[in-house]
Amino acid sequence: MPNLTSKTPSHDPSGMIRRWRRLQDKLIHRFFQLNGLLSILILLGIFFLLFADGFPAVKHLGFQAFLTMIWNPTSFVKATYGLGAMIISTMMVTLGAMVLAVPIGLACAAYLAEVAPSWIREILKPVIEILAGIPSVVLGFLGIVVIGPAIATIFHLPNGLNAINGSILLAVMSLPTIISISEDAISSVPRTYKEASLALGATHWQTLIKVVVPSALSGIIASIMLGMGRAIGETMTVLMATGNALKTPHSIFDSVRPMTSTIAIELGEVPFGSDHYHGLFVVGFILFVMTFIVNLIADMVLAKYQEVER
Amino acid sequence: MKKTVLFEKLGFFSLGLAGLLVLSVLIWIIGDIFVHGASVISWEFLTQSPREGMTQGGILPAIIGTFLVSLITIILAVPLGMFSAIYLNEYAHQGPLVRFIRLSIRNLSGVPSIVYGLFGVALFVRFFHLGASILSAGMTLGLLTLPWTITASEEALKTVPKSFRDGALALGATKWQAIRTNVLPYAIPGMLTGAILGLARAAGETAPILFTGAAFFVPFLPKSLFDQFMALPYHLYILATQHQDIARVRPIAYGTGLVLIALIIGLNGIAVFIRYQYRKKARMAS
């Protein structure tokens, strides 16, 4: 009769295999853990590398040099490194985009979450996904060949490559973000809220405006912040469609050059190691910090909203 | 009472209009590119190099360049994304560290693409001395795609029921054996979908490759990963803004745009198809 009571299987007399397995499992655990830390490493890496490559310019020129308005490092008379006009341009184009995208995006999100019959939802949801996937360079191209001439004709301008053109394109780019996150927020408002409102005699519309949307507000705000972060950091569309004039903009019909365009235009041509080269990393660093803050706010608002949900 | 009903009708109607507007924006984008680009597309356009200062010929080097860069992107981003997701979903315990990792991932996905470009220049081109090359550009795009592949992989892992893991563990499997035999096989299609979607995004990016390897014009096809390359999105940018005879190359620009959009929508379609098949199978199994 075979020995059924033996606790150690005959092929592993001293527990070697078991111990090896346990060690192996621990090593695998560590391996995956290191990979998990990678994201932190990359984020810190971006921060430090941009800082390290921007610092020589700040050290050499002084921080005040960057606090002026006009950026013109290649001037023959006097090189200037002011970030003012650039930051105003970025803000202007982004704000214009939000004015267009927020009402349309929120209305579309509310429609998808509360009104649309399911067959329309089945069509619109992939539409929004595809819209999110359209490359920015294609939109920039359409800004040049379609929207630019249209703006020029409508407003009687010599050409249509200006801030408003960029705003229209950025609105298209941030719409998918705003719609999908707002829709999530609106859909996850508990049914009971709606039922209570309807039971009190409110119409469906009143319920939507006075109960559902306010309950989803933090998610909606987060979606707007994320859309804004996208617009601030977008490069190709503004590079192609806003005209790239190096001056302080006064109206939305002025040609502007946001921070992203400046980096894209100049980094390819600057001599490595010059003040100009390091100055562009300062622009990149500030851009990084701006989007970081916007994303962080969105994150905090979202976290709060999920807390309320629970 | 009648007034509120009218008001409600009007309100819902305007919400519907917003939905219609979004739909028409997409139709306009694709329609315009298709109408102007379709007549340019021919076998020659897809299989020849640009000739006579890019006013003639095709876009083959740009197609090949985009393909090679995407390959590097995938090789870097997909395994790393999978490993990170496995850690987050299978090994990690909730705590400050994991919360910090997740915060980093969310923030990375919001970092502007031009900032990834700067990072790629500073790290790959300068620090690692890889120069402006396919390798530098591909790795820069790989880092950009990473947050997406991590998120998609984690979502795929989450769909595998806990009982699958418990079953293996109860039979004496180690944690890794349980993951390898009872979790990963079921999560792979979802991870694949995420990888393809990430790839579609990377293939359309221009800003990160501007200074890490994309070239205005390369007369020959790339011979090694250390060569500069032409890429579809960069080619479109050049033809639209930097060419000396913009009006004459406009049809070619439209054709390039159409190939790029077709590629990206095609990749999205494949991802959706895999997801659909996989869900159907999952439904039949349960």
Tens digits of residue pLDDT in B173-189: 888 888 988 899 889 88
Q: How confident is the model at residue B94 (pLDDT cuts 50, 70, 90)?
A: confident
User: d(Cα A57, Cα A6) in Å, to the nearest integer?
Assistant: 74
pLDDT at A7 over 80: no
pLDDT in tens, A114-162: 888 999 998 898 899 899 989 999 999 999 999 999 999 998 888 888 8
Could you tell me if B217 lies within 8 Å of chain A, comparing CB atoms? no
Does A21 fall in a domain? no
Q: Report the pLDDT averaged over residues A16-29.
A: 85
Boundaries of every domain in chain B: 57-285
Give the class (CATH, top level) of B57-285. Answer: mainly alpha
Could you tell me if B108 lies within 8 Å of chain A, comparing CB atoms? yes
Does A278 fall in a domain? yes
Distance (Å) of CA A112 to CA A100, A197, A212, A241, B26: 19, 20, 13, 31, 17
**ipTM (interface predicted TM):** 0.90
Contact B17 A53 (CB under 8 A): no
pLDDT at site A307: 61
What does the DSSP assignment read for A20-78? HHHHHHHHHHHHHHHHHHHHHHHHHHHHHHHHHHHHHHHHHH-GGGGGSS-EETT-SS-
Contact A284 B114 (CB under 8 A): yes
pLDDT at site A306: 67
Contact A145 B250 (CB under 8 A): yes
Residue of B nearest to A44 (CA): B104
pLDDT at site A4: 47
- Please give the residue range of the domain that contains residue A300: 71-309
pLDDT at site B71: 92
pLDDT in tens, B43-64: 888 888 887 777 777 888 899 9
- Residues in chain B with CB shorter than 8 Å from the CB of A125 are none
pLDDT at site B245: 79
Q: Report the pLDDT averaged over residues B234-253.
A: 86
pLDDT at site A304: 76
User: d(Cα A133, Cα B208) in Å, to the nearest integer?
Assistant: 16
Contact A140 B240 (CB under 8 A): yes
pLDDT at A169 over 50: yes
CATH of the domain at A283: 1.10.3720.10
State residue B229 phi and psi, 5-degree precision: -150, 165
Contact B19 A108 (CB under 8 A): yes
Tally of domains within chain A: 1
Chain B, 36 to 65: residues with Cβ < 8 Å from chain A are none
Does A258 fall in a domain? yes
Average pLDDT, chain A: 88
Does A38 fall in a domain? no
- The Cα of B193 is separated from the nearest Cα of chain A by a number of Å equal to 14
User: d(Cα B166, Cα B164) in Å, to the nearest integer?
Assistant: 6
Mutate to test the interface with B, among A12, A17, A25, A39 (most CBs of B within 10 A): A39
Look up the pTM and report it: 0.90
Establish, for the pair of chains A and B, how many residue pairs have beta carbons separated by less than 8 Å. 263
User: Minimal CA–CA distance to B106: which of A105, A291, A219?
Assistant: A291
pLDDT at A286 over 90: yes
